[in-house]
């Protein structure tokens, strides 16, 4: 079992990835739900950060530091920086506040100064709002966005025929690194009989809402 399959197994075990019927932000009824906010203890955050680090290192992407958009990106960027350090990549990181602080050190940014090539670390990409805001923050600081790392790519259509991830890649010319995708999830279900009942529902959902560009890629 490779690390992507291990990640899916771990997410299912911790009920971070669940099956049933769930309404998405887009109003779609999805047969599965992924809630990264439930990586909420030391053990799960440590393991999640390792999965991120593995996918980032495997990508071969060049970058100089990490940025985590508030709020979910804050613990994620911290954990990923620590996991990469264990792998021999000690990198600076920063994150933003939703509201600028007007006392103490002040400002909207916390951590290392944004400089060089910056990898954005977030949980998922849905409407792309977080990425857009992060790209603006990074550019305003005189740095260069290098890419985006996320936990799961649902491979669903965004605003048009492209998936939300593909829209980010096209609009900002940034590579997106996902620990796992919907394809990895479907592959996992094929080899686990106790979960086989969910495979048909997820396949049908993908056929209805999945980006055809993502399916053909």
The CATH number given to whatever domain includes residue 90 is 3.40.50.2020
User: Percentage of the chain with pLDDT > 70?
Assistant: 93
- Positions marked catalytic: 101, 103
Rounded to whole angstroms, how far apart are CA atoms 20 and 73? 27
pLDDT tens, 104-153? 454 689 999 999 999 999 998 876 788 999 999 999 999 999 999 999 99
**Count of domains in the chain?**
1
Considering the chain, what is the average pLDDT of its residues? Answer: 90
**Of the candidates 63, 91, 88, 87, the residue with the CA atom closest to the CA atom of residue 77:** 91
Confidence of residue 158 (pLDDT cuts 50, 70, 90): confident
Rounded to whole angstroms, how far apart are CA atoms 90 and 216? 37
Rounded to whole angstroms, how far apart are CA atoms 144 and 155? 26
Residue 56, domain extent? 3-216
Phi first, then psi, for residue 177 (nearest 5°) are -105, 120
Residue 18, pLDDT above cutoff 80: yes
Q: Is the dihedral of CA 150, 154, 159, 162 positive or negative?
A: positive
Confidence of residue 193 (pLDDT cuts 50, 70, 90): confident
Residue 37, pLDDT above cutoff 60: yes
Rounded to whole angstroms, how far apart are CA atoms 184 and 156? 14
**Of the candidates 203, 167, 162, 207, the residue with the CA atom closest to the CA atom of residue 185:** 203
Name the pTM for this structure: 0.90
Q: Residue 108: how many CA atoms within 13 Å on its side-chain side?
A: 16
Judge whether 110 and 83 are in contact, CB under 8 Å. Answer: no
pLDDT of residue 108: 85
pLDDT of residue 213: 52
């Amino acid at each position: 079992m490779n690390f992507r399959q291990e990640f899916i197994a771990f997410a299912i075990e911790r009920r971070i990835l669940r099956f049933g019927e769930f309404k998405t932000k887009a109003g779609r009824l999805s047969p599965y739900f992924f809630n990264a906010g439930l990586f909420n203890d030391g053990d799960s955050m440590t393991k999640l950060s390792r999965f991120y680090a593995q996918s980032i290192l495997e990508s071969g992407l060049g970058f100089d530091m990490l940025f985590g958009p508030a709020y979910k990106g804050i613990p994620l960027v911290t954990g990923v920086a620590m996991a990469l350090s264990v792998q021999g990549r000690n990198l600076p990181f920063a994150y933003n506040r939703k509201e600028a602080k007007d006392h103490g050190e002040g400002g909207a940014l916390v951590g290392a100064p944004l400089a060089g090539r910056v990898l954005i670390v977030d949980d998922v990409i849905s409407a792309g709002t977080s990425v857009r805001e992060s790209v603006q923050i990074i550019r305003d600081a005189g740095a260069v966005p290098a890419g985006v790392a996320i936990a799961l790519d649902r491979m669903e259509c965004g605003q048009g025929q492209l998936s939300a991830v593909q829209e980010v890649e096209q609009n900002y010319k940034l590579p997106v690194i996902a620990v796992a995708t919907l394809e990895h999830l479907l592959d996992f279900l094929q080899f686990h009989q106790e979960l086989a009942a969910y495979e048909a529902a997820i396949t049908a959902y993908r056929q209805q809402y999945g980006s055809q560009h993502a399916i053909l890629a």
